[in-house]
């Protein structure tokens, strides 16, 4: 299960400062890259010093923590930079459903990073010289339905809304998938470059074939400080500036969306409070305006009470009501019953962790699983008792546009 490729254990790790590397994504030599980028800052990685398939089940985060403690804890580290993200780093993607296989952790052999005017390179072992393979356009993209057609999905949304009205649950997030096929193999570097340029406010990520640009920060840990950006409540962008403003105002005033957002905030508050010495959640959400949609957004900050790592916090928070529902266990049952698909890494935690337990993890939204010429794209939304299936479908279509743009340009 655990694989170390071309390196010895303990891992010999070296981090050195480097001059401004320019566009981090342009440095990626291969088409199977690791990335976590926002506003040009973050980490990109390539090669695999170690990787593991995390076994599914209720203890998967504890299992992952032990694997990381073993691999990163015993590494021989020469770190001349000493900042979050320097030294050995593991990238990870966890499936939405704990019972689904597909969760992975990888320690890349090389990581190039930049934050706050500093840049550094981490290498593990004798990193082989990379030849830069040229990036090729995937050509024409055709789309097909995933597990459900659009009308079938609308029907499922209507059923979920009826069950909410009957009192079985308060909120559930339902998603659907689309299957894209390209003329030529899809080079993930091209998708990342497009996403990072068009969605600079989002976290553009790539971990083991899962690629996307998510606006939702599940958790960032820097020492004892933590941050989260909670999103729930969405409207597509308008056709003009005036239409945009009107839609934003309507979203802000919408009882359905405010309630949907409150469920998400409550779930985050409930899971973070026991871990924190202090925690601040705003009384009112703000509007986050992205190129395709507008969201209700709440910026949460806190200070951890003890030495929980970022992965411990991820384990406590996932799944928030922004991707599961309220109450969580009932919502997960309804998702399993109604969606008719395995979400794989979509809506699961994705991000990175360093040897000190610092890191950044997002919720893998606006994303797709890339394999050869194929991409499986995912999008969904929060369903409430008064949800209109046609509006929910329109919202999901607006969210699909992120990955459709990545594929088509």
- In the complex, the smallest distance separating the C-beta of residue 176 from ligand ISC, rounded to whole angstroms, is 9
Peptide bond preceding 225 in cis form (omega within 30 of 0): no
Q: CA quadruple 283, 284, 289, 290: dihedral positive or negative?
A: positive
Residues 261-300 binding ligand ISC (CB under 6 A) are 295
Q: Which position among 48, 154, 171, 339 bears the catalytic label?
A: 171
Under the criterion CB under 6 A, does residue 365 sit at the interface with ligand ISC?
A: yes
Q: Which position among 216, 260, 360, 392 bears the catalytic label?
A: 216
User: Looking at the DSSP assignment, which residues form a beta bridge with residue 295?
Assistant: 234, 288
Q: Please identify, using beta-carbon distances, which residue of 161 and 231 lies nearer to ligand ISC.
A: 231
Residues 33-92 binding ligand ISC (CB under 6 A) are none
Q: Please identify, using beta-carbon distances, which residue of 89 and 161 lies nearer to ligand ISC.
A: 161
- In the complex, the smallest distance separating the C-beta of residue 360 from ligand ISC, rounded to whole angstroms, is 17
Under the criterion CB under 6 A, does residue 380 sit at the interface with ligand ISC?
A: yes
- In the complex, the smallest distance separating the C-beta of residue 334 from ligand ISC, rounded to whole angstroms, is 14
CB 279 within 8 A of CB 273: yes
Helix (H, G, I), strand (E, B) or coil at 239: coil
Residues 134-193 binding ligand ISC (CB under 6 A) are 173, 175
Residues 382-401 binding ligand ISC (CB under 6 A) are 382, 399
Query: Can you read off the two tokens belonging to residue 300?
Result: 């949460």
- Other beta carbons within 10 angstroms of residue 232's beta carbon come to 28
Peptide bond preceding 10 in cis form (omega within 30 of 0): yes
- In the complex, the smallest distance separating the C-beta of residue 275 from ligand ISC, rounded to whole angstroms, is 22
Q: Please identify, using beta-carbon distances, which residue of 68 and 317 lies nearer to ligand ISC.
A: 317
Q: CA quadruple 219, 222, 226, 228: dihedral positive or negative?
A: negative
Q: Please identify, using beta-carbon distances, which residue of 51 and 261 lies nearer to ligand ISC.
A: 261
Q: Please identify, using beta-carbon distances, which residue of 111 and 344 lies nearer to ligand ISC.
A: 344
Query: Can you read off the two tokens belonging to residue 11?
Result: 């891992």
Q: Please identify, using beta-carbon distances, which residue of 308 and 322 lies nearer to ligand ISC.
A: 322
Under the criterion CB under 6 A, does residue 28 sit at the interface with ligand ISC?
A: no
Rounded to whole angstroms, the Cα distance separating 394 from 390 reads 6
- In the complex, the smallest distance separating the C-beta of residue 244 from ligand ISC, rounded to whole angstroms, is 17
Question: Total residues contacting ligand ISC (rule CB under 6 A)?
Answer: 17
- In the complex, the smallest distance separating the C-beta of residue 145 from ligand ISC, rounded to whole angstroms, is 17
Rounded to whole angstroms, the Cα distance separating 387 from 389 reads 6
Q: Which long-range contacts (CB under 8 A, 24 or more apart) does 391-398 make?
A: 392/154, 392/157, 392/174, 393/150, 393/153, 393/154, 393/157, 394/236, 395/234, 395/235, 395/236, 395/293, 396/153, 396/175, 396/176, 398/234, 398/236, 398/237, 398/292, 398/293
Residues 318-337 binding ligand ISC (CB under 6 A) are 322-323
Residue of 64, 379, 393, 406 that binds ligand ISC (CB under 6 A): 379
Under the criterion CB under 6 A, does residue 366 sit at the interface with ligand ISC?
A: yes
Q: Which stretch binds ligand ISC (CB under 6 A): 24-32, 41-49, 66-74, 227-235?
A: 227-235
Under the criterion CB under 6 A, does residue 211 sit at the interface with ligand ISC?
A: no
The residue to which tokens 């990238």 are assigned:
91
Under the criterion CB under 6 A, does residue 381 sit at the interface with ligand ISC?
A: yes
Q: Please identify, using beta-carbon distances, which residue of 189 and 399 lies nearer to ligand ISC.
A: 399
Peptide bond preceding 319 in cis form (omega within 30 of 0): yes
- Other beta carbons within 10 angstroms of residue 364's beta carbon come to 32
Query: Can you read off the two tokens belonging to residue 207?
Result: 């971990």
Query: Can you read off the two tokens belonging to residue 31?
Result: 């088409």
Based on the residue annotation, tell me whether 216 is a catalytic residue of this protein.
Answer: yes
User: Distance between alpha carbon 277 and the CA centroid of its chain, in Å?
Assistant: 26
Under the criterion CB under 6 A, does residue 345 sit at the interface with ligand ISC?
A: no
State the helix-helix crossing angle for 255-272 and 241-253, rounded to 10 degrees: 60
Q: Please identify, using beta-carbon distances, which residue of 122 and 292 lies nearer to ligand ISC.
A: 292
Strand 12-17 and strand 76-79: the pairing is parallel
- In the complex, the smallest distance separating the C-beta of residue 402 from ligand ISC, rounded to whole angstroms, is 8
Q: Please list the active-site residues.
A: 171, 216
Interacting residue ranges for ligand ISC, rule: CB under 6 A: 173, 175, 216, 231-234, 295, 322-323, 365-366, 379-382, 399
């Amino acid at each position: 299960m655990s694989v170390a490729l071309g390196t010895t254990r303990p891992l010999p790790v070296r981090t050195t400062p480097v001059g401004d590397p320019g566009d981090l994504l342009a440095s990626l030599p291969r088409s199977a890259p690791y990335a976590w980028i926002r506003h040009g800052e973050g980490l990109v990685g390539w090669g695999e010093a170690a990787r593991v398939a995390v076994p599914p089940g209720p203890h998967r985060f504890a299992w992952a923590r032990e694997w990381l403690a073993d691999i990163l804890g015993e590494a021989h580290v020469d770190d001349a930079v000493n900042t979050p993200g320097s030294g050995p780093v593991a990238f990870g993607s966890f499936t939405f459903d704990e019972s689904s296989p597909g969760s992975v952790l990888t320690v890349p052999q090389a990581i190039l990073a930049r934050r706050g005017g500093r840049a550094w390179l981490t290498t593990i072992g004798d990193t082989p010289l990379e030849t830069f393979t040229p990036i090729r356009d995937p050509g024409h993209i055709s789309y097909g339905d995933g597990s459900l057609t659009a009308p079938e999905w609308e029907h499922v949304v209507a059923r979920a809304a009826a069950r909410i009205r009957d009192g079985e649950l308060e909120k559930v997030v339902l998603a659907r998938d689309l299957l894209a096929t390209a003329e030529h193999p899809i080079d993930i570097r091209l998708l990342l470059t497009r996403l990072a340029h068009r969605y600079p406010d989002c976290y553009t990520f790539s971990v083991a074939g899962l690629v996307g640009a998510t606006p939702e920060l599940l958790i960032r840990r820097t020492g004892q400080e933590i941050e989260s950006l909670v999103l729930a409540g969405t409207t597509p962008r308008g056709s003009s500036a005036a239409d945009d403003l009107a839609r934003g105002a309507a979203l802000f005033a919408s009882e359905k969306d405010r309630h949907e957002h409150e469920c998400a905030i409550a779930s985050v508050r409930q899971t973070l409070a026991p871990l924190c010495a202090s925690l601040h959640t705003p009384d009112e959400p703000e509007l986050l305006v992205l190129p395709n949609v507008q969201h209700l957004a709440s910026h949460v900050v806190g200070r951890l009470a003890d030495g929980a790592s970022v992965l411990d916090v991820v384990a406590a928070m996932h799944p928030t009501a922004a991707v599961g529902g309220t109450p969580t266990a009932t919502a997960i049952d309804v998702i399993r019953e109604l969606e008719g698909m395995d979400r794989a890494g979509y809506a699961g935690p994705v991000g990175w962790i360093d040897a000190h337990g610092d890191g950044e993890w997002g919720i893998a939204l606006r994303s797709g699983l890339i394999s050869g010429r194929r991409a499986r794209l995912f999008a969904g939304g929060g369903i409430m008792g008064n949800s209109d299936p046609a509006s929910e479908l329109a919202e999901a279509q607006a969210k699909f546009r992120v990955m459709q743009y990545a594929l088509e340009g």
